[in-house]
Chains A and B, each alone.
Chain A
Amino acid sequence: MKILLVEDDDVLIKVLTRSLTSHNYVVDTVKDGEMGWTYGSTFEYDLLVLDIVLPKLDGISLCKRFREQGYTMPILLLTAQDTRTVKVQGLDAGADDYVVKPFDQVELIARIRALMRRGSSNPFPLLSWGDLLLNPSTCEVNYNGQPLSLTTKEYELLELFLRDRQYVFSTDELIDRLWSSEEFPSEATVRSHIRRVRKKLADVGAPPDFIATLHGRGYYLKTMDADMGDAFTATSAFVSEEGTPTAALVNLSTVAQFQTKENSPVDSQQQYLDFLNETWATTKPKSLEQTSILLEVVHSLQDDRLSSNQQVEAQRIAHTLAGTLGIFGLSKATHLARQLEHWLAGYEPLRPEQIPLLKTLAMALQQAIQNTTTIEQSPLFDEQSPLLLLVSDDSSFNQALIMVATRCSIRVEVVSALELAPEWAEAQPQVILLRLPTGLTPTKIAEPASASHWLSALQVISHHYPSLPILVMGDRDELDDRLEVVRWGGKLFLEALMPAEQVITTVVNLLGAKTYAPKVMIVDDDHTWLSTLPSLLKPWGFKVTTLADPKQFWTVLQSVTPDVLVLDVNMPQINGFELCQILRGDPDWQQLPVLFLSVLTDAASQHQAFTVGADDYLCKPVVGGALANRILSRLHRIRACAS
């Protein structure tokens, strides 16, 4: 777990760093608020510790800035004043907790632990997965009762995996989250740490793939057998639970990635991507060269021989780099270049205390460029990415929301409530968010006397898009307000204070299972095979429903309304071919993609499958990846036909 400490008191830095590192935290320290912003907005942290009194930008303003820009990591404030005003100010600025100086170190660490718990998807003080148990307060780890002796890095790896179970961590992400921003380990270093943890786990009896590899994507904790239900529980679980927000977000990126890979060669998006890759091959060396010039500037600064011309030139280079990297969709590298540009432009002459910051940024930029061998995702969004129509006059909120939305590949179109121009009506959003200005509650707007333009905006919107989900964000959270929102056809009421990240999570959920977590229904009488499928397909973000009894086919089909159906051929009572025929005989289900998955490898069976209306035929045994790819390519085809 990685912490950013923004503190200008050297003694306190020393004490805190020692105490935090002894608890296996990785700590980056910076000494003023502006640098705190650069580090915090550029690198990944699990928690920020900010002193309130800081040079350049005070801790409360810094905290506010992070929240306004949509950053949601926990923030702990350190304050010397034990007055109510300061505490209230801090909490209002978006801090999660504060500690008054002088403080007890044990208490500080305990509060940090509590905050980290709140931020993770796992709220329990003890972290566990199968037989593995990790106790963050004592840093002890054991498997099935046997203690594991781990190095700091190995411990951190396991803790990270346990905090975000089900999440697939790429090597880059692991580097970002577990190494200090001044260190630049290679991917091989990460791999060797993973290898050592696996070995230690295997030595105490864990399965060799306890930490599994998803090829080309990263590492994750493999689902335990106990987590898989039998056929029917999987179904009912699905019906009752529409997926957690985090799961949906992960799904979104997984699907997006696969979409780009699954495109047919004629697809323009793919061709564009190919072109970007070709161009990257020549741009990369050029960008690396430009980065080394930036590093040289840092050296000159170190030796106190940086001319102002050099600095101007360096600023220009950073600007150019940001533009170039941006067009390839390399958002992290772009952000790094922008930060460099910001520091090079804003401070003339640069001062010695800014050397470490500039050096870190330039090195991180160099590494980000170096590590980009291929452009994998189509940059930003394509036409298929969902569009959010945002009706809001709150520019700082808009900015924050757009930033988070961009990270999730959601396009945002902002309109002012006053501008009921026809342009926005041409936009084809999938979801609408209306943010009421401060002090204006839904009940107030509804009063006839108010004649607010917000009310007419809402009416126009709900009239124009009768079938779209409309979210309303407002100041107050009372029953009357919620009632008004419902009357206007609003689907959800969100509190005005909700951070941008959470809003987008809600939006992603609303956009829903249909587009972004494809529902796959699998009918097979082989219980064992069926029970492995949910975990096999999980990394691809599908919602899987399994059914072992073909007699319940129709009932389950109607309640699940899958996007894809996978059928076994040989089953008792009704075989897969017959099920497919039944399906094709119903107008509602004629379009549903059907894949057969069978042990029958002969041409006659395959021929029969296509005759009864199959879209694809796979032979068992099949690996998860192959099945997932075939499913995705079917989905893609059907989506392409629909548009």
Chain B
Amino acid sequence: MGKRILIIDDEETIQTVVQFGIRMATGWEVLTAGSGEQGIQTAQTEKPDVILLDVMMPEMDGIATFKALQSHTETEQIPVILLTAKAQTADKCQFNDLGVSGVITKPFNSLNLPEQISRILHW
């Protein structure tokens, strides 16, 4: 069954490449947002099956965005996977304590993302 993915990342190139890669590999629908605020809005209206969330973003960072998503009833059930650079994986425990579903380390090959997501979420 086709899934709907929302990626929130301030880098447009990353949005584009991830969108292309996931579509290419599985045909899943990929929505994009360039900031935390925009991402929350999209999540509320579109109700994606999973949110891929960049940790380091200007203004509203990934952690703040995640907390905001958790505080809204429309979005609190949506699983969130954080995207983070290897250097920051030391914070992995902290991320897990937050209650995110998983962490994917950058850089990644977008073609492999569906497989990684499926494994994390037991799809």
Which chain A residues have a beta carbon within 8 Å of chain B's beta carbons?
268-269, 271-272, 275-276, 279, 283, 316, 319-320, 322-324, 326-329, 331, 334, 338, 342, 378-383, 423, 426
Contacts of B38 in A (CB 8 A): none
Contacts of B109 in A (CB 8 A): 329, 378-382
A322, B85: Cβ atoms closer than 8 Å? yes
Contacts of B13 in A (CB 8 A): 279, 283, 324, 327
CA–CA, A316 to B57, complex, Å?
9
CA–CA, A379 to B111, complex, Å?
10
CA–CA, A460 to B20, complex, Å?
39
Question: Distance in Å from the Cβ of A515 to the closest Cβ of chain B?
Answer: 19
Contacts of A326 in B (CB 8 A): 85, 106-107
Contacts of B107 in A (CB 8 A): 323, 326-327, 329, 331, 334, 379-380
> Does B56 reach chain A (CB closer than 8 Å)?
yes
Q: Pick the contact of B108 from A319, A342, A380 — CB < 8 Å?
A: A380
Question: Distance in Å from the Cβ of B120 to the closest Cβ of chain A?
Answer: 9
Contacts of B25 in A (CB 8 A): 268
> Does B62 reach chain A (CB closer than 8 Å)?
no
A interface footprint on B15-30 (CB within 8 Å = 1, 0 otherwise): 0111011001100000
B119, A269: Cβ atoms closer than 8 Å? no
B112, A381: Cβ atoms closer than 8 Å? yes
Which chain B residues have a beta carbon within 8 Å of chain A's beta carbons?
9-11, 13-14, 16-18, 20-21, 24-25, 54, 56, 58, 85, 87, 106-112, 115, 119
CA–CA, A570 to B15, complex, Å?
58
Residue among B13, B106, B112 having the largest count of chain A Cβ atoms under 10 Å: B13
A423, B87: Cβ atoms closer than 8 Å? no
Residue among B10, B17, B18, B54 having the largest count of chain A Cβ atoms under 10 Å: B17
Q: Pick the contact of B17 from A279, A331, A334 — CB < 8 Å?
A: A279
Q: Pick the contact of A279 from B16, B24, B106 — CB < 8 Å?
A: B16
Contacts of B58 in A (CB 8 A): 316
Residue of A nearest to B18 (CB): A327
CA–CA, A279 to B21, complex, Å?
12
Residue of B nearest to A269 (CB): B111
A272, B11: Cβ atoms closer than 8 Å? no
Known A271-B24, A338-B85, A382-B112; contact A323-B17, beta-carbon cutoff 8 A: no
Q: A268-B24, A323-B107, A327-B108 are in contact. List 20 more A-B contacts (CB 8 A).
A: A269-B111, A271-B24, A275-B17, A276-B17, A279-B13, A319-B56, A320-B10, A320-B11, A322-B85, A323-B9, A323-B54, A324-B13, A326-B106, A326-B107, A327-B18, A328-B17, A329-B107, A379-B107, A380-B109, A382-B112
CA–CA, A319 to B14, complex, Å?
13
B17, A327: Cβ atoms closer than 8 Å? yes
Residue of A nearest to B26 (CB): A268
Question: Distance in Å from the Cβ of A190 to the closest Cβ of chain B?
Answer: 28
CA–CA, A342 to B85, complex, Å?
12
Residue of B nearest to A268 (CB): B24
Q: How many A-B residue pairs have CB under 8 A?
A: 71
Question: Distance in Å from the Cβ of B28 to the closest Cβ of chain A?
Answer: 14
Contacts of B9 in A (CB 8 A): 323
CA–CA, A320 to B54, complex, Å?
11
Residue of A nearest to B20 (CB): A275
Residue of B nearest to A413 (CB): B119
CA–CA, A324 to B106, complex, Å?
10
A426, B56: Cβ atoms closer than 8 Å? no
Contacts of B16 in A (CB 8 A): 279
CA–CA, A379 to B25, complex, Å?
15
Question: Distance in Å from the Cβ of A75 to the closest Cβ of chain B?
Answer: 24
CA–CA, A327 to B9, complex, Å?
13
B20, A426: Cβ atoms closer than 8 Å? no
Nearest 8 CB-CB pairs, A to B? A326-B107, A380-B109, A324-B13, A275-B20, A268-B24, A327-B17, A283-B13, A326-B106
CA–CA, A328 to B14, complex, Å?
9
Q: Pick the contact of A272 from B14, B24, B119 — CB < 8 Å?
A: B24
Contacts of A383 in B (CB 8 A): 111-112, 115
Question: Distance in Å from the Cβ of B13 to the closest Cβ of chain A?
Answer: 5
CA–CA, A559 to B105, complex, Å?
44
Contacts of B10 in A (CB 8 A): 320
CA–CA, A323 to B46, complex, Å?
27
Residue of B nearest to A326 (CB): B107
Residue of B nearest to A334 (CB): B107
CA–CA, A327 to B13, complex, Å?
8
CA–CA, A379 to B13, complex, Å?
15
B111, A327: Cβ atoms closer than 8 Å? no
Question: Distance in Å from the Cβ of A404 to the closest Cβ of chain B?
Answer: 14
B14, A323: Cβ atoms closer than 8 Å? yes
CA–CA, A378 to B16, complex, Å?
16
Contacts of A342 in B (CB 8 A): 87
Residue of B nearest to A403 (CB): B86
Contacts of B54 in A (CB 8 A): 323
Q: Pick the contact of B106 from A268, A323, A378, A382 — CB < 8 Å?
A: A323
CA–CA, A379 to B87, complex, Å?
19
Contacts of B119 in A (CB 8 A): 423, 426
- Pull 18 A–B residue pairs with CB atoms less than 8 Å apart, ordered by A: A268-B111, A269-B111, A275-B17, A279-B13, A279-B17, A283-B13, A319-B56, A323-B11, A323-B106, A327-B13, A327-B14, A327-B18, A327-B110, A338-B87, A380-B107, A383-B112, A383-B115, A426-B119
Contacts of A271 in B (CB 8 A): 24
Contacts of A323 in B (CB 8 A): 9, 11, 14, 54, 85, 106-107
Question: Distance in Å from the Cβ of A318 to the closest Cβ of chain B?
Answer: 11
Residue of A nearest to B25 (CB): A268
Contacts of B111 in A (CB 8 A): 268-269, 272, 378, 382-383
Question: Distance in Å from the Cβ of B41 to the closest Cβ of chain A?
Answer: 23
Q: Pick the contact of A324 from B14, B110, B112 — CB < 8 Å?
A: B14
B20, A272: Cβ atoms closer than 8 Å? yes
Residue of B nearest to A280 (CB): B13
CA–CA, A531 to B98, complex, Å?
65
CA–CA, A381 to B111, complex, Å?
9
CA–CA, A268 to B110, complex, Å?
12
Residue of A nearest to B56 (CB): A319
Question: Distance in Å from the Cβ of B123 to the closest Cβ of chain A?
Answer: 12
Residue of A nearest to B87 (CB): A338
CA–CA, A588 to B115, complex, Å?
34
Residue of B nearest to A411 (CB): B112
CA–CA, A259 to B101, complex, Å?
35
CA–CA, A579 to B54, complex, Å?
59
Question: Distance in Å from the Cβ of B14 to the closest Cβ of chain A?
Answer: 5
CA–CA, A426 to B115, complex, Å?
12
Contacts of A380 in B (CB 8 A): 107-109, 112
CA–CA, A423 to B120, complex, Å?
9
Question: Distance in Å from the Cβ of A108 to the closest Cβ of chain B?
Answer: 36
Contacts of A382 in B (CB 8 A): 109, 111-112
